Amino acid sequence: MGWQVEVVDWRDCEAAITALQTSTEVIFYRVPAFDPVKEVIQEARRLSLSPWWEVDDLIFEHAEYIKNSNISGLSNAEKSELLNGVRLFRECLLSCDRAIASTRALGDAMRRAGIADVHVIENALDQQTLEIAARLRDVRGKALVTPLQDILIVYGSGTKTHDADFRECADGLLAAMESEQRLRLRIVGDLTLPEGFARVSERVEHIGGRDYANYMALLAEADIAVAPLEATLFNDAKSNIKFIEASILGVPSICSPRDTFRQVIQPGNNGLLAEGVEEWRDAFLMLARNPELRQQLAERAYGDVMARYRPDAIAATQVAACFPPSVVKPSGRLRIMAANIYFAPRTFGGATLIAEEMVKRLSERDVDVAVFTAAAPNPTRYVSSVRYEALGVSVLGSPLPLHVDSAASLDNPRVTRQFVAWLEAYRPDIVHFHSMQGLGLGVLHACSERGVPYIITVHDAWWLCERQFMVRKDGTYCAQRRIDPHVCQLCVPEARHLGLRADLMKQTLAGAALLLSPSEAHRRLYIENGVPSDAIRVNRNGFFWPKAPRNPRPHGAPLRFGYVGGVEAVKGYPLVREAFERLDSSDWRLVVIDNKLKLGFQSIITHDWKVKGAVIVRDAYSPDTMDDFFNEIDVLLFPSQWMESYGLTVREALARDVWVIATSPGGQSEDIVDGVNGTLMPLNSGSGALQNAIEKVLGEAGRFNGYANPLKHTLATFEDQADELLTILKEQVETRANQG
């Protein structure tokens, strides 16, 4: 019928909650309302699912359950446990919106309990049972049958609660066995026979419980199958599975006239119904003495059961009413999945910003987009994945281990399993991976294994260097151009896995349909490390442009500088302090952004700076307050001591007519023309070069009155980036399709 089905043990709440994230329907089959189950039902409702509750026994109606005399032989403790189960089953039923019953009487009981939407799906044959039956029927057909041979009656008892049911036929069977010496009885399972059977004990065989295949083999040896049931509503609600099993083996049945048997058995045509001692006795004797009738009933029962209870028959006549055939109609729209370690509402870092903005803009361009990301730790959800909506698209979050070393994080089997479930549910045409550290390489390999093309935006050097930004432990930049794991080993002596890591990364990068870099400088780094030049292209990052024109620079104000990079040496913070402390001029003002203030502590302390001008520390700005920050500076300082992959802050400043002093080469300098819209200084040139650049602009302070960046039109926008990205994605999907 086209549905993907996953069966989960209800006691495994982690697996159950995870399975819900990629489901459109959920059935709670014979599940009691223990507290963890209630959490699963709540999760189903959070996901806007309408839960079904299904059962094939009347185990949710206390008044009827206690009428079942089968439980009279149980201990008080066993009875108490069973009846508590009845309460829990009923609670779970009523916690769901809809119900599935295996019989008509069971469906009526569900409606009486308060469920309006009830469907009947009878217990059907499964493929394994059909295969077992076919083999056994073939063996049975070859057996020699003579009129003088014994007549074997088989009864299967799953538990000792079937004693009362068997008593329905016991007296009639005993009378028949005493009248017809060829009749033998085989009991499979746990059953206590009435005392009278001691008189025919030499013709009674007890066999312990067997697995299903062996039970069917024992049943296949029968001449007559028997299915007695006590006359209660509980038994009217039971399925006719004993008749079905006997029929597909070619064994005729005598059954009690309970509701499900009456629906399918036509007495004298495909089986017999019996009630009371005389009817049971006569039925046994009739079949014992008439092999032709046994054969006739068996053949017709086989045909009727196969026509009604084959999987495809039940699917078409009963299942389809609840779960119509799933037909995936191509929408003609490109389906994209984006993956990044963080995603809204957990927005952190430049790569996440780009991933979010591309998702928003792609979803506005007549394509379908979904997201895979890491989930925030949540002790109440165990390690289940979580599906939610963010930025107008569906997101699946997978929780990461709290404590894992860098080597182990390259492979995260649980994350991979949850990603595969999302991949198979969403069925994207292509996957766009952004920053993947922590999620593991298995998610990319899963795409390859399923023939789904993927592209990777290499936002940083993580694919080449375990330290991601190529910064040594002492905070200085590693200037390697072609990464040598042996050199890295000297930097991180405990990292014995670096050679293997490099091989894994190389293999994963090679599996990508295309690599994207935010800058040409960063692209060159990957090419120098073995990536073919035609396998990596530049897709420049966009950024938040100003919402309003820049405010005029205040008349007579000192030259205003800004620094955003934090206290790390690799970002040039020590150089900034040293340069300003050596300035003789006091006609300046420096605004420093401290990103840690939002976390409740201060990381930038300036009261001990020995400077002549003013230094002000500000809290981090947001997209909404970004213009305010840039309106109060004239020059942005970006003395990064490494070759940045891009340099987002540089572009934000250039778009707002702010002069930029930056190091070069690197992605940070690619939109700066020295002396036109900024000042470039060499990497590793020390604080002296920065001091010189600052003094130069201090000497030209007048040029910043009414200054406008003449190259602003060359900067990328999010719209430009999204348009180019969409073209790339379409090209890669078309290429894969043409390759077959």
Asked if 645 and 459 touch (Cβ cutoff 8 Å), the reply is yes
The label of the residue with tokens 């499900």 reads: 260
Residues found in the chain: 740
pLDDT band for position 639 (cuts 50, 70, 90): very high
Residue 54 lies in a domain: yes
Q: At 475, which amino acid appears?
A: G
- Tokens for 226, please give them: 């028997």
| 154-163, 306-315, 648-657: the lowest-pLDDT one | 154-163
CA torsion 271-276-280-286 (nearest 10°) is: -80
Q: What is the DSSP letter of 72?
A: G
- Could you tell me if 135 and 103 lie in one domain? no
Per-residue pLDDT, averaged over 640-650, amounts to 93
- Tokens for 606, please give them: 């300036």
pLDDT at 144 over 50: no
- Could you tell me if 407 and 431 lie in one domain? yes
Asked if 395 and 373 touch (Cβ cutoff 8 Å), the reply is yes
Work out the number of other CB atoms within 10 angstroms of the CB of residue 270.
Answer: 22
DSSP 265-304: --BTTTBEE--SHHHHHHHHHHHHT-HHHHHHHHHHHHHH
Range of the domain at 568: 559-715
pLDDT at 713 over 60: yes
- Could you tell me if 220 and 249 lie in one domain? yes
pLDDT of 350 reads 83
| 24-33, 136-145, 510-519: the lowest-pLDDT one | 136-145
Q: How far apart are CA 373 and CA 355, in angstroms?
A: 11
Residue 739 lies in a domain: no
Asked if 400 and 422 touch (Cβ cutoff 8 Å), the reply is no
Q: How far apart are CA 535 and CA 518, in angstroms?
A: 14
| 26-35, 194-203, 547-556: the lowest-pLDDT one | 547-556
Strand pairing category for 117-120 and 635-638: unpaired
- Could you tell me if 102 and 239 lie in one domain? no
Helical pair 413-426 and 442-449, crossing angle rounded to 10 deg: 40
Coil/strand/helix, residue 62: helix
Strand-pairing partners, residue 189, are 157
| 302-311, 596-605, 635-644: the lowest-pLDDT one | 596-605
- The answer for residues whose C-beta is within 8 angstroms of residue 695's C-beta and 6 or more apart is 583, 585
Asked if 371 and 389 touch (Cβ cutoff 8 Å), the reply is no
- Could you tell me if 525 and 472 lie in one domain? yes
- The answer for residues whose C-beta is within 8 angstroms of residue 244's C-beta and 6 or more apart is 123, 125, 305, 309
pLDDT at 143 over 60: no
Work out the number of other CB atoms within 10 angstroms of the CB of residue 430.
Answer: 22
- Could you tell me if 446 and 376 lie in one domain? yes
- Could you tell me if 534 and 404 lie in one domain? yes
Q: Give the DSSP H or E segment for 76.
A: helix 76-95
Please write down the HEC assignment for all residues of 212-275: HHHHHHHHHCCCEEEECCCCCHHHHCCCCHHHHHHHHCCCCEEECCCHHHHHHCCECCCEEECC
- Could you tell me if 108 and 179 lie in one domain? no
pLDDT of 401 reads 78
| Rg, the chain, Cα only | 38
CATH number at residue 210: 3.40.50.2000
- Could you tell me if 167 and 312 lie in one domain? yes
Residue 512 lies in a domain: yes
Residue 327 lies in a domain: no
Q: How far apart are CA 278 and CA 280, in angstroms?
A: 5
Last residue of a domain, one of 298, 322, 346: 322
Residue 654 lies in a domain: yes
Nearest C-alpha neighbor of 398 from the set 388, 413, 383, 378 = 383
pLDDT of 569 reads 87
Helical pair 413-426 and 13-20, crossing angle rounded to 10 deg: 30
**pLDDT tens for each residue of 664-686:** 999 999 999 999 999 999 998 89
Residue 544 lies in a domain: no
**pLDDT tens for each residue of 162-203:** 888 999 999 999 999 999 999 999 999 999 999 999 999 999
Q: How far apart are CA 81 and CA 350, in angstroms?
A: 57
Residue 736 lies in a domain: no
- Tokens for 490, please give them: 């000297």
- Could you tell me if 178 and 311 lie in one domain? yes
Indicate the burial class of 119 (C-beta count within 10 angstroms; 0-12, 13-18, 19 or more).
middle
Q: What is the DSSP letter of 317?
A: I
- Could you tell me if 289 and 255 lie in one domain? yes
- The answer for residues whose C-beta is within 8 angstroms of residue 393's C-beta and 6 or more apart is 359, 363, 369, 370, 371
Q: What is the DSSP letter of 319?
A: I
Last residue of a domain, one of 263, 295, 322: 322
Indicate the burial class of 284 (C-beta count within 10 angstroms; 0-12, 13-18, 19 or more).
buried
DSSP 677-718: TEEEEETT-HHHHHHHHHHHHHHTGGGGTT---TTGGGS--H
- Could you tell me if 74 and 189 lie in one domain? no
Start-to-end CA span in the chain (Å): 27
Residue 27 lies in a domain: yes
Mean pLDDT (the chain, rounded) = 92
Number of structural domains the chain divides into: 4
pLDDT band for position 484 (cuts 50, 70, 90): confident
pLDDT of 160 reads 66
Strand-pairing partners, residue 325, are none
Indicate the burial class of 112 (C-beta count within 10 angstroms; 0-12, 13-18, 19 or more).
exposed
Last residue of a domain, one of 85, 105, 120: 120
